[in-house]
Amino acid sequence: MLMSYSVTPETDQPDKLLQYANTYGINSKRWWLLTGNRDSIYQLARRDYFADEDMGMQKTSKDFLHTENLLLIDQDRAIRGIYKGTSAAEVDLLMKDIRKLLYP
């Protein structure tokens, strides 16, 4: 399953995310487009997903947060890998690592 969190939840309300999903044929059983409280999303991204780790500077809770990172998280919620979503080679590696988890 894929999960994407909105970096602008104040504008990305559930109805807009549903419209986006419908426009691009996103299967909601396989890809969740998530929104919610901005502070909670940003805290989750920074604390649990290390979204700012490669930025090289400390940001405040009010700074805009965006990352191209894709995280592979196993069924025990452990991070198994972090991949640059803009790199075809890293996305290929992600796909291989997913198969390793699914078919050990």
Q: What is the pLDDT of residues 27-39, one digit of tens each?
A: 999 999 999 988 8
Q: What is the pLDDT of residues 40-83, one digit of tens each?
A: 888 888 788 777 655 555 666 666 667 788 889 998 988 999 99
| Region for 95 from its dihedrals, namely left if φ exceeds 0, alpha if ψ lies in -120 to 50, beta otherwise | alpha
Strand bridging mode 79-84 / 69-73: antiparallel
pLDDT at 87: 94
pLDDT at 50: 72
pLDDT at 100 over 90: yes
Q: Is the pTM of this model over 0.75?
A: no
